[in-house]
Structure 1
Amino acid sequence: MKLQDTLSDSEQPLDISKMVKIYLCGVTVYDESHIGHARTIIIFDVLRKYLESKGVEVKFIQNFTDVDDKIINRAKLENTTAEQISSKYIEGYYKDFDGLNVKRASNYPKATEHIKDIENFIEKLIQKDIAYVSKNGVYFSVSKFSQYGKLSKKKIDELQSGARIEVDEAKKDPLDFALWKFSDVKPVWDSPWGKGRPGWHIECSAMSIKYLGENFDIHGGGRDLIFPHHENEIAQSESFTSKQFAKIWMHVGMVTINGEKMSKSLGNIRTIKHVLENWGPNIIRLFCLSGHYSKPIDYSEELLKENLTKWRQAEICYYELIHANNENHSEIKSVIEKISKEFDSALESDLNTHLALSAFFKLVKEVNYLAAEEKLTTNDAKIIIPEFERMLKVLGLAIPKITLDEKQEINNLINSREQLRKEKKFQDADRIRDKLNEMNIELIDHKGKTIWVRKEKIKADQ
């Protein structure tokens, strides 16, 4: 497997002969998670699920930034504590991402639970004369790290005029960034240098090294984190360990809304809660996986509708497979093996989910064609179902399950409808079809039999 590495600007091989260690920068918990967060986390969820489907053990760490100026400001606004704000949105995060069928990380470390680790990290940088104490806090001295700018490909003079650099007269250099901020505003902790709280960048270095070691396989996040967050992480981590930090830096493109950046001022933020209520997890995942992960993707109702149409075909495919009862001989095995190889090759070539989805829908199309031609056999279904389900699992898609009681009720209604049609009682038969429609059951008539498909209920499709 090869993945595009932002640092070397080239595809790098991923060593899957041992456990793969991944650190993904998580969310700052001061507000609801949105579709941009969903895309990044879904991309890494597919990477992890694919590796695990191949028997590779994955240690997946994703942090929560639960101490930050944004959290403190939100707490002031709502007349509550920073801890209550972060707890509320962490709980919301789990609900959202469980709803999106994202497998939970091996661990979700929080900055507030690792203050001692952060202090020890800073102390070592001070001892190495790479960090210094000023009147406002402890700062990392960028001039002491000669490779600064290597991830973002920015030159030092370019960076000095960068808009995202905090202005602070206590710094020795405008590029220096805070490791520890002195403050009396809660939450604060005592430290050897004074009361305060950690800077943003230091938490990820301290926690990734604690859980994954000094050199791990993949460090990821959205493209907006390349500078300054990941640039600063590299500087402080490699200064701390004198080793390469992460082997591969993997960054996911932004989600725009009708061509514009999501922002509160424009009122165009789409929360996960909102999109889940309207479209459900499968359509959202298909949308997030529909372009190459490194490129931006534009959120639009049209694109979601296209994905809904495709998903309906996948649902039909699944039910055609479980209802297959034709005993004729077919040559499907070689076709499925070819599609399966296409699917794997796409994901192994820089996690090309767009091509992987093309392979998946090629399988769907093949099944639906065979079924329509009355050529789908029981043996075909036995060969295809495990591969269909493997692809679903890797992509994090799920056909809603149906209970035995529901199955029996549906079959009874269909049998009654068939009998009424034989008796030419078409109005009564249509009434049963209407009842089945209310249950989201779609009937597909074949020669000599009728099969049923349980469609996922999607609010936007009503």
Structure 2
Amino acid sequence: MKLYNSLSNQIEPFNPVTEKKLNMYVCGPTVYNYIHIGNARPVIFFDVVKRLFSYLGYQVNYVSNITDVDDKIIQEAKKLGIEEQKLTAYFVKAFKEDVTALGSDLPNQMPHATNYINEMVFYINDLIEKDAAYFKGDTVYFRVNQSKDYGRLSNQILENLNVGARIEQDQNKEYPFDFTLWKQTTEGISFDSPWGKGRPGWHTECAVMNHEIFKDVIDIHGGGSDLKFPHHENEMAQSCAHDNHHLANYWMHVGRLDFKDEKMSKSLGNIILVKDLLEAYDYQAFRLLVLSHHYRQPINYSDALMKQFDNEWQRIKRALKQAFVEISIKHFQLTDKNEDAINLFVDHMCDDFNISNSMTVLYDQLKALNRSKDIKEIARLFNTIITMLELLGIKMDLVPLTNNQIELYNAWQLARNEKRYQDADVIRNRLSEEGIL
């Protein structure tokens, strides 16, 4: 297994902290709205990361947090005139439904930030005692200029960082890039602390949940490329100061999914919600779109691109469904697979998820399936393709045919062979209605 490590900016052999175990943390949603398809890309990709490592025999602990305390949550709850807890509970449920609808498994753990407030207070206090943080005015800040590696993850020099990149201007700061660990507040939900009632900073939430759940350096920390700076940079800085390690040995970042050459964001209003997209298309078609692009490359989403991959999925689905029907008709139970093709598919996936080469292997098997007339070979190719697709989280809902459906299918084939086309069309419509064709 080789992975591109954002911390070193190069592809490296994967060496786990513990043999055949993978600890992975991926930054999750801030739950004040439904997720859009740009949010969905990391959800899909890191689900595939877990699937691949599990296939390779790793025991995977995949953790993705829920940010349920945030200014955006407070503002949305205030606008709707409801309690923040009610808002977040609704959108946590909606998020889980969207994750499942996308064909992804839920992470092993989904910790909520509000369940770790006491731990965050202790963590921040430790940073103050280490002189890595300070309390001034109504806020606790992290001392960025004492972090020797600051800027390493985002590949930036501290003095040259763009002040406009989500950096707050605050006269209480000793240094412009010092970031908030805790702030006092009188608006929205707040918690007791030695620095007054308030709430933690976003960067601290993830750093602390990592620290509490894993206790030590983890294998992979992941998220969207837009999180590299400042969020992941600030997480890593706290971990270096608190625990003397970079939090993770491998940092993985997924490229953006833009809409018509523009970043998709709720504030810009140019979003397509996952739940809306899946009313029009099969989730498999969208997964195919996302996964057919290398995870580090951006995707410029358009309606035309979605239709292209929907057509591609329908083509794959028809071929597999036809094969499944033929296997069912002949009551063929062969479970054999083309292990060489599967191993080649997996080998390419292990090369920093070289999806282009992996999909070439898959489509070669699909072409062979479309050409084959031998039922044994059809079954073998069918099982091979299904295995590859399942590694991508793309599943076929195939139910064994009943005796009546088999008789109906045979009657259709007979009508075609005898050139009774009108009868064949009637039977074909019935088969289509039952989802056989």
TM-score between both structures, scaled by the size of structure 2: 0.92
Name the residue aligned to 2:4: 4
Question: 1:427 maps to which residue?
Answer: 422
What does the per-residue CA deviation read over 1:167-223, in whole Å, with 9 as the maximum and x for residues that have no partner? 111111111100011012221000122110000000111111211232110000000
In structure 1, the residue matched to 2:15 is: 15
Residue 401 (structure 1) aligns with: 398
Shift of 1:243: 2.2
Contact 1:314 1:361 in 2 (8 A): no
Query: Which amino acid in 2 is paired with 1:393?
Result: E
Q: CA deviation at 1:423?
A: 7.3
Q: Does residue 64 of structure 2 align to residue 67 of structure 1?
A: no
User: Counterpart amino acid of 2:114?
Assistant: T
Q: For 2:13 and 2:23, how far apart are their aligned partners in 1?
A: 14
SS at the partner of 1:351?
Answer: coil
Q: Is residue 100 from structure 1 mapped to residue 102 from structure 2 by the alignment?
A: yes
Within 1, Cα distance between the matches of 2:420 and 2:359? 44
Whether the aligned pair in 2 keeps the contact of 1:205 and 1:236 (CA below 8 Å) is: yes
Deviation string 1:82-104 (CA, Å, 9 cap, x unpaired) is 11111111110011111111111
CA shift, 1:421, in A, is 5.8
| Aligned CA distance change for structure 1 residues 15 and 146 (closer, same or farther; 3 Å) | closer
- The residue identity in structure 1 corresponding to 2:388 is M
- The AA in structure 2 aligned to 1:297 is I
Q: How many residues align?
A: 429
Q: Which residue of 1 aligns with 2:367?
A: 365
- Could you tell me which amino acid in structure 1 is paired with residue 341 of structure 2? I
Q: Secondary structure at the match of 1:59?
A: strand
Query: 1:144 aligned to 2:141?
Result: no
| Deviation at residue 337 of structure 1 after TM alignment | 4.1
Residues 274-320 of structure 1, C-alpha deviations (whole Å, 9 max, x = no match): 11111121001001101110110011222222222322332234234
Spell out the pairing of 1:132-281 with structure 2 (5 A cutoff): 132-159=134-161, 161-264=163-266, 266-281=268-283
> Which segment drifts farther, 296-305 or 74-83?
296-305
Distance 1:187 1:398 in 2: 42
Indicate how the Cα distance of structure 1 residues 265 and 25 shifts in structure 2: closer, same or farther if over 3 A, else same: closer
Give 1:385 deviation, angstroms.
4.1
Residue 452 of structure 1: aligned partner: none
Shift in CA distance, 341/421, structure 1 to aligned 2, threshold 3 Å: closer
Tell me the distance in 2 between the aligned counterparts of 1:347 and 1:414. Answer: 38
Which 5+ residue runs of structure 1 have no aligned equivalent? 327-331, 443-462
Cα deviation per residue 1:130-166 (whole Å; 9 max; x = unaligned)?
Answer: 1111112111011111221111111222226333101
8 A contact 2:182–2:199 mirrored in 1: yes
Instruction: Measure how far apart 1:51 and its partner are.
Output: 0.9
Q: Which residue of 370, 374, 377 maps to 2:375? A: 377
Alignment deviations for residues 212-266 of structure 1 (CA, whole Å, 9 cap, x no partner): 2321100000000011000100111110011232100100000011222213465
Shift of 1:435: 2.7
Gap change, CA 1:414 and 1:387, over 3 Å in 2: closer
Q: Secondary structure at the match of 2:81?
A: coil
Residues 417, 270 of structure 1: CA spacing in aligned structure 2 closer, same or farther, 3 A cutoff?
same
Closer, same or farther: CA 203–57 of 1 in aligned 2, 3 Å: same
Determine if contact 2:84/2:189 at 8 Å carries over to the other structure.
Answer: yes
The 3 A distance-change label for structure 1 pair 264 and 55 is: closer
Q: Which amino acid aligns with 1:397?
A: I
Aligned to 2:333: none
Q: What SS class does the counterpart of residue 341 from structure 2 fall into?
A: helix
**1:325-340 to 2 correspondence within 5 Å?**
336-340=338-342
For residues 53 and 430 of structure 2, the distance between their equivalents in structure 1, rounded to whole angstroms, comes to: 43
Q: Which residue, 399, 406, 411 being the options, matches 1:411?
A: 406
Letter paired with 1:401: L
Q: Secondary structure at the match of 1:175?
A: coil
Aligned-pair identity in percent equals 38
2:113 to 100, 111, 114: 111
Show CA shifts across 1:415-460 (max 9, x none). 3445656777543332222233333443xxxxxxxxxxxxxxxxxx
Distance 1:221 1:432, change over 3 A: same
Unaligned runs of 5+ in 2: 331-335
